[in-house]
Every structure is written in C-alpha cells, then in structure tokens.
Amino acid sequence: EDKVVQSPLSLVVHEGDTVTLNCSYEVTNFRSLLWYKQEKKAPTFLFMLTSSGIEKKSGRLSSILDKKELFSILNITATQTGDSAVYLCAVGLNKLIFGTGTRLQVFP
C-alpha cells in the first residue's frame, strides 16, 4: 500500500527559529515529490522535486530529495508568523498521494 508519512505532526516555534519538516514515502510508482502550504483554504504549491540531491530554494524555504532513502526535507529559516500553516508533502506518478501534513505555528 502506498504511504507518505510526515513528521513531526505539529511544531511550535518562535519567530526567527529555523525548522526542518520531514517527509518519507513508500509508493509503487514514483516520479516526483511535491510540497504544498495550506493556510486557511486551498493548498498552494511550493516545490516539485524529481532528482536526488538537488536543492530547490525559494527565499527562506528550501527542500531536497533523497530517492535512495525515500525521503525529503523542507527547511524554513528565520521563520515568520506568516509561515504558520499546514505543510503537505505528496508523491506519486499519475496520481498524488498526500501525507497528513505538519502543522507549523510561529509565535512572535
């Protein structure tokens, strides 16, 4: 059975902290791993990773994929209150399987 596991389930930090979110997977068909941020409503796209070892960056966010060990990490440096959200990881080929998400709360 395809499975995507995210950890931790929940994280509470103060502004300025650096956080690392984890996503491990076991899927039959893999092409890429995607990260989404979900605030109040629909998830919004952050990154798509297809190759091992190549870091993707967008401002204070970065992510990397390890296809040998079947996991990815999402790093957020110098966190801000606006980073508070649920972060979702998804993997697959012709359909995406989502993890349960990590709820990040950033306090001033």
Partner 1 sequence: NAGVTQTPKFRVLKTGQSMTLLCAQDMNHEYMYWYRQDPGMGLRLIHYSVGEGTTAKGEVPDGYNVSRLKKQNFLLGLESAAPSQTSVYFCASSLFFPTNEKLFFGSGTQLSVL
Give the span between the Cα atoms of 103 and 21, in whole angstroms: 10
Give the span between the Cα atoms of 104 and 23, in whole angstroms: 14
Q: Tell me which residues touch partner 1 (CB under 8 A).
A: 4, 6, 9, 31-32, 34, 41-45, 48, 50, 88, 90-101
Report the residue number, 5 or 78, with the smaller CB distance to partner 1: 5
Report the residue number, 90 or 106, with the smaller CB distance to partner 1: 90
CB of 108 to partner 1, least distance (A): 26
Give the span between the Cα atoms of 106 and 31, in whole angstroms: 32
Residue carrying structure tokens 């791993």: 33
Whose CA is closest to 25, among 55, 69, 59, 63?
69
Report the residue number, 76 or 87, with the smaller CB distance to partner 1: 87
CB of 96 to partner 1, least distance (A): 5
CB of 38 to partner 1, least distance (A): 9
CB of 97 to partner 1, least distance (A): 7
Give the span between the Cα atoms of 108 and 98, in whole angstroms: 30
